[in-house]
Structure 1
Protein backbone atom coordinates (compact mmCIF):
# COMPACT_ATOMS: atom_id res chain seq x y z
CA UNK A 1 0.00 0.00 0.00
CA UNK A 2 1.49 3.37 -1.03
CA UNK A 3 1.69 6.42 1.22
CA UNK A 4 -0.98 8.12 -0.86
CA UNK A 5 -3.33 5.15 -0.39
CA UNK A 6 -2.68 5.10 3.38
CA UNK A 7 -3.35 8.85 3.65
CA UNK A 8 -6.61 8.66 1.65
CA UNK A 9 -7.78 5.60 3.56
CA UNK A 10 -7.00 7.35 6.85
CA UNK A 11 -9.08 10.36 5.86
CA UNK A 12 -12.02 8.11 4.89
CA UNK A 13 -11.80 6.23 8.18
CA UNK A 14 -11.59 9.47 10.14
CA UNK A 15 -14.79 10.79 8.54
CA UNK A 16 -16.84 7.75 9.58
CA UNK A 17 -19.48 8.32 12.31
CA UNK A 18 -17.69 6.05 14.79
CA UNK A 19 -14.36 7.89 14.50
CA UNK A 20 -16.03 11.28 14.74
CA UNK A 21 -17.63 10.09 17.98
CA UNK A 22 -14.17 9.20 19.28
CA UNK A 23 -12.98 12.69 18.28
CA UNK A 24 -15.55 14.43 20.47
CA UNK A 25 -14.00 13.40 23.81
CA UNK A 26 -10.44 14.73 23.29
CA UNK A 27 -11.94 17.80 21.61
CA UNK A 28 -14.10 18.70 24.60
CA UNK A 29 -11.46 17.91 27.25
CA UNK A 30 -8.63 19.64 25.37
CA UNK A 31 -10.77 22.68 24.57
CA UNK A 32 -11.73 23.13 28.23
CA UNK A 33 -8.12 22.70 29.35
CA UNK A 34 -6.90 25.12 26.67
CA UNK A 35 -9.52 27.72 27.59
CA UNK A 36 -8.66 27.59 31.29
CA UNK A 37 -4.89 27.60 30.73
CA UNK A 38 -5.05 30.49 28.29
CA UNK A 39 -6.70 32.84 30.77
CA UNK A 40 -4.58 31.60 33.68
CA UNK A 41 -1.34 32.25 31.77
CA UNK A 42 -2.56 35.60 30.43
CA UNK A 43 -3.82 36.56 33.90
CA UNK A 44 -0.45 35.77 35.46
CA UNK A 45 1.23 37.90 32.80
CA UNK A 46 -0.99 40.88 33.57
CA UNK A 47 -0.51 40.40 37.30
CA UNK A 48 3.27 40.29 36.96
CA UNK A 49 3.21 43.30 34.68
CA UNK A 50 1.25 45.22 37.26
CA UNK A 51 3.61 44.45 40.13
CA UNK A 52 7.18 45.72 40.43
CA UNK A 53 9.52 44.97 43.33
CA UNK A 54 11.75 47.94 44.19
CA UNK A 55 14.76 47.51 46.49
CA UNK A 56 17.39 50.05 47.48
CA UNK A 57 20.05 50.39 50.17
CA UNK A 58 22.24 53.21 51.45
CA UNK A 59 25.33 52.97 53.63
CA UNK A 60 26.54 55.87 55.79
CA UNK A 61 29.42 56.12 58.22
CA UNK A 62 28.83 57.66 61.61
CA UNK A 63 31.70 57.97 64.04
CA UNK A 64 33.66 55.50 61.95
CA UNK A 65 30.89 52.88 62.12
CA UNK A 66 29.09 51.95 58.87
CA UNK A 67 25.26 51.95 58.95
CA UNK A 68 23.21 50.43 56.18
CA UNK A 69 19.58 51.37 55.58
CA UNK A 70 17.48 49.27 53.24
CA UNK A 71 14.20 50.09 51.55
CA UNK A 72 11.96 47.50 49.93
CA UNK A 73 8.68 48.40 48.27
CA UNK A 74 6.21 46.93 45.84
CA UNK A 75 4.68 49.13 43.18
CA UNK A 76 1.31 47.73 42.20
CA UNK A 77 -1.12 48.52 39.45
CA UNK A 78 -0.79 52.25 38.90
CA UNK A 79 2.86 52.84 37.98
CA UNK A 80 3.25 50.33 35.16
CA UNK A 81 -0.29 49.49 34.08
CA UNK A 82 -1.46 53.12 34.01
CA UNK A 83 1.56 54.22 32.01
CA UNK A 84 1.12 51.47 29.43
CA UNK A 85 -2.63 51.78 29.17
CA UNK A 86 -2.61 55.59 28.89
CA UNK A 87 -1.24 55.33 25.35
CA UNK A 88 -2.89 53.43 22.51
CA UNK A 89 0.33 51.96 21.07
CA UNK A 90 1.80 50.75 24.37
CA UNK A 91 -1.60 49.47 25.47
CA UNK A 92 -1.97 47.47 22.26
CA UNK A 93 1.59 46.13 22.40
CA UNK A 94 1.31 45.08 26.05
CA UNK A 95 -2.01 43.32 25.48
CA UNK A 96 -0.75 41.66 22.30
CA UNK A 97 2.44 40.34 23.92
CA UNK A 98 0.62 38.98 26.97
CA UNK A 99 -2.02 37.13 24.98
CA UNK A 100 0.40 36.04 22.23
CA UNK A 101 2.70 34.43 24.77
CA UNK A 102 -0.30 32.97 26.58
CA UNK A 103 -1.67 31.57 23.32
CA UNK A 104 1.72 30.15 22.34
CA UNK A 105 2.12 28.32 25.65
CA UNK A 106 -1.48 27.16 25.55
CA UNK A 107 -1.04 25.52 22.12
CA UNK A 108 2.04 23.65 23.36
CA UNK A 109 0.36 22.49 26.54
CA UNK A 110 -2.78 21.46 24.62
CA UNK A 111 -0.64 19.21 22.38
CA UNK A 112 0.81 17.57 25.49
CA UNK A 113 -2.64 16.93 26.96
CA UNK A 114 -4.09 15.74 23.64
CA UNK A 115 -1.33 13.12 23.31
CA UNK A 116 -2.00 11.89 26.85
CA UNK A 117 -5.78 11.79 26.38
CA UNK A 118 -5.61 9.99 23.03
CA UNK A 119 -3.53 7.24 24.65
CA UNK A 120 -6.65 5.98 26.42
CA UNK A 121 -8.66 5.84 23.18
CA UNK A 122 -5.96 4.29 20.95
CA UNK A 123 -6.91 0.59 21.51
CA UNK A 124 -10.57 1.28 20.64
CA UNK A 125 -9.63 3.24 17.51
CA UNK A 126 -7.23 0.55 16.29
CA UNK A 127 -9.76 -2.24 16.88
CA UNK A 128 -12.17 -0.33 14.65
CA UNK A 129 -9.47 -0.03 11.96
CA UNK A 130 -8.66 -3.73 12.30
CA UNK A 131 -12.32 -4.73 11.89
CA UNK A 132 -12.57 -2.64 8.74
CA UNK A 133 -9.35 -3.46 6.93
CA UNK A 134 -7.11 -5.96 8.75
CA UNK A 135 -9.20 -8.85 10.01
CA UNK A 136 -6.33 -11.19 9.18
CA UNK A 137 -3.92 -9.28 11.45
CA UNK A 138 -4.24 -10.17 15.13
CA UNK A 139 -3.70 -7.33 17.60
CA UNK A 140 -1.29 -8.96 20.06
CA UNK A 141 0.22 -5.96 21.79
CA UNK A 142 2.68 -5.75 24.66
CA UNK A 143 3.29 -3.91 27.94
CA UNK A 144 1.02 -3.02 30.87
CA UNK A 145 -0.13 0.09 32.71
CA UNK A 146 3.06 0.35 34.79
CA UNK A 147 5.13 0.01 31.61
CA UNK A 148 3.33 2.97 30.04
CA UNK A 149 3.47 5.10 33.18
CA UNK A 150 7.21 4.50 33.46
CA UNK A 151 7.91 5.59 29.89
CA UNK A 152 5.48 8.51 30.08
CA UNK A 153 7.33 9.85 33.13
CA UNK A 154 10.72 9.10 31.57
CA UNK A 155 9.90 10.94 28.33
CA UNK A 156 8.27 13.85 30.17
CA UNK A 157 11.47 14.35 32.19
CA UNK A 158 13.56 14.04 29.01
CA UNK A 159 11.36 16.67 27.34
CA UNK A 160 11.82 19.07 30.26
CA UNK A 161 15.58 18.45 30.20
CA UNK A 162 15.66 19.29 26.49
CA UNK A 163 13.75 22.52 27.12
CA UNK A 164 16.45 23.53 29.62
CA UNK A 165 19.42 22.41 27.50
CA UNK A 166 18.17 24.34 24.46
CA UNK A 167 17.68 27.65 26.32
CA UNK A 168 20.73 29.31 24.64
CA UNK A 169 19.13 28.75 21.21
CA UNK A 170 15.86 30.45 22.20
CA UNK A 171 17.48 33.87 21.67
CA UNK A 172 18.59 33.19 18.07
CA UNK A 173 15.97 34.22 15.47
CA UNK A 174 14.55 31.37 13.35
CA UNK A 175 16.69 28.83 15.17
CA UNK A 176 14.61 29.47 18.29
CA UNK A 177 11.50 28.18 16.48
CA UNK A 178 13.20 24.84 15.87
CA UNK A 179 14.68 24.71 19.37
CA UNK A 180 11.31 25.34 21.01
CA UNK A 181 9.66 22.53 19.06
CA UNK A 182 12.30 19.82 19.43
CA UNK A 183 11.42 18.83 23.04
CA UNK A 184 7.68 18.61 22.43
CA UNK A 185 8.12 16.76 19.15
CA UNK A 186 10.34 14.26 20.99
CA UNK A 187 7.53 13.58 23.49
CA UNK A 188 4.88 13.56 20.75
CA UNK A 189 6.81 11.01 18.65
CA UNK A 190 7.63 8.70 21.55
CA UNK A 191 4.14 8.62 23.04
CA UNK A 192 2.27 8.28 19.75
CA UNK A 193 4.43 5.44 18.40
CA UNK A 194 4.31 3.63 21.75
CA UNK A 195 0.50 3.90 21.95
CA UNK A 196 0.02 2.52 18.44
CA UNK A 197 2.76 -0.13 18.33
CA UNK A 198 1.99 -1.55 21.78
CA UNK A 199 -1.63 -2.11 20.76
CA UNK A 200 -0.90 -3.91 17.49
CA UNK A 201 2.40 -5.79 17.45
CA UNK A 202 4.70 -7.67 19.78
CA UNK A 203 7.78 -6.05 21.29
CA UNK A 204 10.01 -7.90 18.84
CA UNK A 205 7.90 -6.85 15.86
CA UNK A 206 8.01 -3.27 17.10
CA UNK A 207 11.83 -3.37 17.25
CA UNK A 208 11.98 -4.82 13.74
CA UNK A 209 9.63 -2.19 12.34
CA UNK A 210 11.58 0.64 13.96
CA UNK A 211 14.88 -0.78 12.72
CA UNK A 212 13.84 -0.89 9.07
CA UNK A 213 11.37 2.02 9.03
CA UNK A 214 12.70 4.45 11.66
CA UNK A 215 13.16 7.40 9.28
CA UNK A 216 9.83 6.83 7.55
CA UNK A 217 7.98 6.77 10.86
CA UNK A 218 9.83 9.89 12.06
CA UNK A 219 8.83 11.73 8.89
CA UNK A 220 5.22 10.73 9.45
CA UNK A 221 5.15 11.79 13.10
CA UNK A 222 6.93 15.05 12.19
CA UNK A 223 4.26 15.81 9.58
CA UNK A 224 1.54 15.02 12.12
CA UNK A 225 3.26 17.20 14.73
CA UNK A 226 3.48 20.17 12.35
CA UNK A 227 -0.21 19.67 11.60
CA UNK A 228 -0.96 19.75 15.34
CA UNK A 229 0.61 23.23 15.59
CA UNK A 230 -2.31 24.66 13.63
CA UNK A 231 -4.67 26.16 16.26
CA UNK A 232 -7.45 23.71 17.20
CA UNK A 233 -6.19 21.08 14.70
CA UNK A 234 -4.80 18.89 17.47
CA UNK A 235 -8.25 18.56 19.06
CA UNK A 236 -9.75 16.67 16.13
CA UNK A 237 -6.46 15.67 14.55
CA UNK A 238 -5.37 13.45 17.45
CA UNK A 239 -7.78 10.74 16.27
CA UNK A 240 -6.51 11.04 12.70
CA UNK A 241 -2.91 10.72 13.94
CA UNK A 242 -3.70 7.33 15.50
CA UNK A 243 -5.60 6.16 12.41
CA UNK A 244 -2.80 7.18 10.03
CA UNK A 245 0.01 5.69 12.10
CA UNK A 246 -2.17 2.65 12.85
CA UNK A 247 -2.46 1.83 9.14
CA UNK A 248 1.33 2.07 8.87
CA UNK A 249 1.91 -0.43 11.67
CA UNK A 250 -0.82 -2.79 10.46
CA UNK A 251 0.76 -2.90 6.98
CA UNK A 252 4.25 -3.50 8.39
CA UNK A 253 3.08 -6.19 10.84
CA UNK A 254 1.25 -7.93 8.01
CA UNK A 255 4.48 -8.02 5.98
CA UNK A 256 6.48 -9.42 8.90
CA UNK A 257 4.00 -12.20 9.67
CA UNK A 258 3.76 -13.21 6.01
CA UNK A 259 7.52 -13.79 5.96
CA UNK A 260 7.41 -16.10 8.97
Structure 2
Protein backbone atom coordinates (compact mmCIF):
# COMPACT_ATOMS: atom_id res chain seq x y z
CA UNK A 1 0.00 0.00 0.00
CA UNK A 2 2.90 2.34 0.74
CA UNK A 3 4.28 1.80 -2.77
CA UNK A 4 0.79 2.20 -4.24
CA UNK A 5 0.20 5.56 -2.52
CA UNK A 6 3.68 6.76 -3.44
CA UNK A 7 3.10 5.80 -7.07
CA UNK A 8 -0.29 7.54 -7.19
CA UNK A 9 1.22 10.76 -5.81
CA UNK A 10 3.91 10.62 -8.48
CA UNK A 11 1.38 9.95 -11.23
CA UNK A 12 -0.78 12.91 -10.21
CA UNK A 13 2.13 15.32 -10.24
CA UNK A 14 2.25 17.74 -13.18
CA UNK A 15 5.39 16.19 -14.69
CA UNK A 16 4.10 12.62 -14.81
CA UNK A 17 0.66 13.68 -16.01
CA UNK A 18 2.40 15.10 -19.06
CA UNK A 19 4.07 11.74 -19.60
CA UNK A 20 0.62 10.08 -19.44
CA UNK A 21 -0.98 12.34 -22.04
CA UNK A 22 1.20 11.27 -24.97
CA UNK A 23 0.32 7.53 -24.96
CA UNK A 24 -3.30 8.40 -24.16
CA UNK A 25 -3.78 10.77 -27.09
CA UNK A 26 -1.93 8.63 -29.63
CA UNK A 27 -3.68 5.44 -28.47
CA UNK A 28 -7.10 7.09 -28.67
CA UNK A 29 -6.49 7.83 -32.34
CA UNK A 30 -5.33 4.25 -32.92
CA UNK A 31 -8.29 2.95 -30.89
CA UNK A 32 -10.80 4.86 -33.05
CA UNK A 33 -9.25 3.86 -36.37
CA UNK A 34 -8.85 0.19 -35.42
CA UNK A 35 -12.41 -0.02 -34.09
CA UNK A 36 -13.85 1.32 -37.35
CA UNK A 37 -11.83 -0.96 -39.64
CA UNK A 38 -12.16 -4.07 -37.44
CA UNK A 39 -15.94 -3.66 -37.25
CA UNK A 40 -16.21 -3.07 -41.01
CA UNK A 41 -14.05 -6.11 -41.84
CA UNK A 42 -16.01 -8.43 -39.56
CA UNK A 43 -19.37 -7.15 -40.82
CA UNK A 44 -18.29 -7.57 -44.44
CA UNK A 45 -17.16 -11.11 -43.67
CA UNK A 46 -20.56 -12.05 -42.23
CA UNK A 47 -22.36 -10.39 -45.12
CA UNK A 48 -20.26 -12.35 -47.63
CA UNK A 49 -20.64 -15.62 -45.73
CA UNK A 50 -24.44 -15.47 -45.61
CA UNK A 51 -24.89 -14.06 -49.11
CA UNK A 52 -23.13 -16.78 -51.08
CA UNK A 53 -26.48 -18.19 -52.28
CA UNK A 54 -29.26 -15.58 -52.20
CA UNK A 55 -32.05 -18.19 -52.24
CA UNK A 56 -30.48 -20.46 -49.64
CA UNK A 57 -31.61 -21.07 -46.08
CA UNK A 58 -28.57 -19.13 -44.77
CA UNK A 59 -29.59 -16.05 -46.73
CA UNK A 60 -33.16 -16.26 -45.37
CA UNK A 61 -31.85 -16.84 -41.86
CA UNK A 62 -29.49 -13.86 -42.12
CA UNK A 63 -32.36 -11.63 -43.23
CA UNK A 64 -34.11 -12.04 -39.86
CA UNK A 65 -33.94 -8.91 -37.68
CA UNK A 66 -32.80 -10.77 -34.57
CA UNK A 67 -29.97 -12.41 -36.50
CA UNK A 68 -28.93 -9.04 -37.92
CA UNK A 69 -28.83 -7.64 -34.39
CA UNK A 70 -26.77 -10.58 -33.08
CA UNK A 71 -24.29 -10.33 -35.97
CA UNK A 72 -23.83 -6.59 -35.48
CA UNK A 73 -23.41 -7.04 -31.72
CA UNK A 74 -20.93 -9.89 -32.20
CA UNK A 75 -18.94 -7.88 -34.73
CA UNK A 76 -18.85 -4.94 -32.36
CA UNK A 77 -17.71 -7.06 -29.40
CA UNK A 78 -15.02 -8.89 -31.36
CA UNK A 79 -13.76 -5.65 -32.87
CA UNK A 80 -13.72 -4.05 -29.43
CA UNK A 81 -11.83 -6.99 -27.92
CA UNK A 82 -9.12 -6.86 -30.58
CA UNK A 83 -8.93 -3.08 -30.54
CA UNK A 84 -8.65 -2.72 -26.76
CA UNK A 85 -5.69 -5.08 -26.53
CA UNK A 86 -4.00 -3.66 -29.60
CA UNK A 87 -4.33 -0.14 -28.18
CA UNK A 88 -3.02 -1.18 -24.75
CA UNK A 89 0.08 -2.79 -26.23
CA UNK A 90 0.57 0.20 -28.48
CA UNK A 91 0.36 2.48 -25.42
CA UNK A 92 2.97 0.34 -23.65
CA UNK A 93 5.14 0.54 -26.77
CA UNK A 94 4.98 4.35 -26.64
CA UNK A 95 5.67 4.40 -22.89
CA UNK A 96 8.76 2.22 -23.44
CA UNK A 97 10.41 5.25 -25.04
CA UNK A 98 9.49 7.32 -21.97
CA UNK A 99 10.54 4.69 -19.41
CA UNK A 100 14.20 5.83 -19.13
CA UNK A 101 13.01 9.36 -18.30
CA UNK A 102 10.35 8.09 -15.86
CA UNK A 103 12.79 5.79 -14.04
CA UNK A 104 15.43 8.52 -13.93
CA UNK A 105 12.92 10.98 -12.47
CA UNK A 106 11.72 8.48 -9.83
CA UNK A 107 15.30 7.64 -8.89
CA UNK A 108 16.37 11.27 -8.58
CA UNK A 109 13.27 12.21 -6.59
CA UNK A 110 13.12 9.29 -4.16
CA UNK A 111 16.28 7.16 -4.10
CA UNK A 112 19.41 8.75 -5.56
CA UNK A 113 20.73 5.36 -6.67
CA UNK A 114 23.85 5.47 -8.89
CA UNK A 115 24.06 2.89 -11.67
CA UNK A 116 27.73 2.26 -12.45
CA UNK A 117 27.36 -0.28 -15.27
CA UNK A 118 24.21 0.24 -17.34
CA UNK A 119 22.39 -2.51 -19.24
CA UNK A 120 23.42 -2.58 -22.90
CA UNK A 121 20.92 -2.32 -25.74
CA UNK A 122 22.26 -5.58 -27.17
CA UNK A 123 21.39 -7.46 -23.96
CA UNK A 124 17.90 -5.95 -23.91
CA UNK A 125 17.29 -6.84 -27.57
CA UNK A 126 18.49 -10.41 -26.97
CA UNK A 127 16.06 -10.86 -24.06
CA UNK A 128 13.29 -9.18 -26.06
CA UNK A 129 13.81 -11.67 -28.88
CA UNK A 130 13.58 -14.57 -26.40
CA UNK A 131 10.30 -13.18 -25.06
CA UNK A 132 8.74 -12.96 -28.52
CA UNK A 133 9.92 -16.45 -29.49
CA UNK A 134 8.30 -17.90 -26.34
CA UNK A 135 5.16 -15.83 -26.91
CA UNK A 136 4.79 -17.11 -30.48
CA UNK A 137 5.31 -20.69 -29.25
CA UNK A 138 2.60 -20.24 -26.58
CA UNK A 139 0.31 -18.63 -29.15
CA UNK A 140 0.71 -21.52 -31.58
CA UNK A 141 0.03 -24.04 -28.81
CA UNK A 142 -3.10 -22.12 -27.80
CA UNK A 143 -4.42 -22.43 -31.38
CA UNK A 144 -4.99 -26.11 -30.65
CA UNK A 145 -7.76 -25.01 -28.26
CA UNK A 146 -9.22 -22.43 -30.63
CA UNK A 147 -12.46 -24.28 -31.27
CA UNK A 148 -13.24 -25.09 -27.63
CA UNK A 149 -15.96 -22.66 -26.40
CA UNK A 150 -14.93 -20.28 -23.60
CA UNK A 151 -11.60 -22.04 -23.04
CA UNK A 152 -10.12 -20.48 -26.18
CA UNK A 153 -10.84 -16.94 -24.93
CA UNK A 154 -9.15 -17.53 -21.56
CA UNK A 155 -6.17 -19.27 -23.13
CA UNK A 156 -5.49 -16.31 -25.42
CA UNK A 157 -6.07 -13.94 -22.51
CA UNK A 158 -3.32 -15.60 -20.45
CA UNK A 159 -0.97 -15.91 -23.42
CA UNK A 160 -1.16 -12.17 -23.94
CA UNK A 161 -0.68 -11.66 -20.20
CA UNK A 162 2.68 -13.41 -20.53
CA UNK A 163 3.71 -10.87 -23.17
CA UNK A 164 2.32 -7.96 -21.14
CA UNK A 165 4.16 -9.09 -17.97
CA UNK A 166 7.48 -9.73 -19.67
CA UNK A 167 7.53 -6.49 -21.68
CA UNK A 168 6.77 -4.33 -18.66
CA UNK A 169 9.42 -5.99 -16.51
CA UNK A 170 12.02 -5.87 -19.26
CA UNK A 171 11.29 -2.21 -19.83
CA UNK A 172 11.65 -1.21 -16.16
CA UNK A 173 14.44 -3.60 -15.13
CA UNK A 174 16.70 -2.53 -18.00
CA UNK A 175 16.47 1.10 -16.82
CA UNK A 176 16.41 0.66 -13.03
CA UNK A 177 19.18 -1.93 -12.52
CA UNK A 178 22.84 -2.21 -13.29
CA UNK A 179 23.94 -4.90 -15.73
CA UNK A 180 24.70 -7.50 -13.02
CA UNK A 181 21.52 -6.72 -11.07
CA UNK A 182 19.51 -7.00 -14.28
CA UNK A 183 21.00 -10.41 -15.11
CA UNK A 184 20.34 -11.71 -11.59
CA UNK A 185 16.77 -10.45 -11.63
CA UNK A 186 16.07 -11.99 -15.04
CA UNK A 187 17.79 -15.29 -14.22
CA UNK A 188 15.83 -15.85 -10.99
CA UNK A 189 12.49 -15.04 -12.61
CA UNK A 190 10.34 -12.27 -11.17
CA UNK A 191 9.15 -12.53 -7.53
CA UNK A 192 5.47 -13.08 -6.75
CA UNK A 193 4.92 -9.37 -5.98
CA UNK A 194 5.85 -8.49 -9.55
CA UNK A 195 3.63 -11.18 -11.05
CA UNK A 196 0.68 -10.15 -8.88
CA UNK A 197 1.20 -6.47 -9.74
CA UNK A 198 1.37 -7.04 -13.50
CA UNK A 199 -1.68 -9.34 -13.33
CA UNK A 200 -3.65 -6.55 -11.63
CA UNK A 201 -2.39 -4.09 -14.23
CA UNK A 202 -3.40 -6.48 -17.02
CA UNK A 203 -6.95 -6.76 -15.66
CA UNK A 204 -7.16 -2.97 -15.34
CA UNK A 205 -5.77 -2.53 -18.85
CA UNK A 206 -8.59 -4.74 -20.15
CA UNK A 207 -11.06 -1.99 -19.24
CA UNK A 208 -11.44 0.34 -22.25
CA UNK A 209 -9.61 3.68 -21.94
CA UNK A 210 -8.08 2.87 -18.52
CA UNK A 211 -5.40 0.85 -20.25
CA UNK A 212 -4.59 3.84 -22.44
CA UNK A 213 -3.99 6.28 -19.58
CA UNK A 214 -2.32 4.08 -16.95
CA UNK A 215 0.82 2.57 -18.60
CA UNK A 216 2.86 5.40 -17.06
CA UNK A 217 1.48 4.44 -13.64
CA UNK A 218 2.45 0.81 -14.27
CA UNK A 219 6.03 1.90 -14.95
CA UNK A 220 6.10 4.16 -11.87
CA UNK A 221 4.80 1.40 -9.59
CA UNK A 222 7.19 -1.25 -10.92
CA UNK A 223 10.09 1.19 -10.59
CA UNK A 224 9.33 1.75 -6.90
CA UNK A 225 8.82 -1.99 -6.43
CA UNK A 226 12.18 -2.72 -8.07
CA UNK A 227 14.10 -0.24 -5.94
CA UNK A 228 12.45 -1.20 -2.66
CA UNK A 229 12.06 -4.99 -3.04
CA UNK A 230 15.05 -5.91 -5.19
CA UNK A 231 17.64 -3.27 -4.23
CA UNK A 232 16.25 -2.83 -0.66
CA UNK A 233 16.30 0.96 -0.92
CA UNK A 234 14.05 3.26 1.09
CA UNK A 235 12.47 6.37 -0.41
CA UNK A 236 13.66 9.73 0.83
CA UNK A 237 11.53 11.29 3.56
- Structures share fold, TM-score greater than 0.5: yes
* Match in the other structure for 1:68: none
* Secondary structure in structure 2 of the residue aligned to 1:89: helix
* Secondary structure in structure 2 of the residue aligned to 1:231: coil
Normalising by structure 1, report the TM-score. 0.78
* Match in the other structure for 1:65: none
* Match in the other structure for 1:5: 2
Q: Given the alignment of the two structures, is residue 165 of structure 1 paired with residue 162 of structure 2, yes or no?
A: no
Residue 182 of structure 1, CA deviation? 1.9
Relative to structure 1, is the Cα distance of residues 209 and 154 closer, same or farther in structure 2, using a 3 angstrom cutoff? closer
Q: Give distance in 2, aligned partners of 1:43 and 1:203.
A: 47
* Match in the other structure for 2:106: 129
Q: Any unmatched runs of 5+ in structure 2?
A: none
Q: Given the alignment of the two structures, is residue 46 of structure 1 paired with residue 43 of structure 2, yes or no?
A: yes
Query: Structure 2 residue aligned with 1:117, among 94, 104, 110?
Result: 94
Q: Give distance in 2, aligned partners of 1:32 and 1:230.
A: 17
Q: Any unmatched runs of 5+ in structure 1?
A: 54-73
Larger-Rg structure: 1
Residue 116 of structure 1, CA deviation? 1.5
Normalising by structure 2, report the TM-score. 0.85
* Match in the other structure for 2:23: 26
Q: State the Cα deviation string for residues 71-123 of structure 1 (Å, max 9, x = none).
A: xxx84999899756743211110100111111111112122212211110001
* Match in the other structure for 2:173: 197
* Match in the other structure for 1:242: 219
Residue 47 of structure 1, CA deviation? 1.7
Which residues in structure 2 correspond to 1:65-84 (within 5 Å)?
A: 75=52, 83=60
Q: State the Cα deviation string for residues 234-258 of structure 1 (Å, max 9, x = none).
A: 11110000000000111145428xx
RMSD across aligned positions (CA) = 2.8
Contact preservation (8 Å) 2:35, 2:80: yes
* Match in the other structure for 1:187: 163
Deviates more, 1:234-243 or 1:172-181: 172-181
Contact preservation (8 Å) 2:53, 2:59: no
Q: Given the alignment of the two structures, is residue 100 of structure 1 paired with residue 77 of structure 2, yes or no?
A: yes
Structure with higher strand content: 1
Aligned length: 231
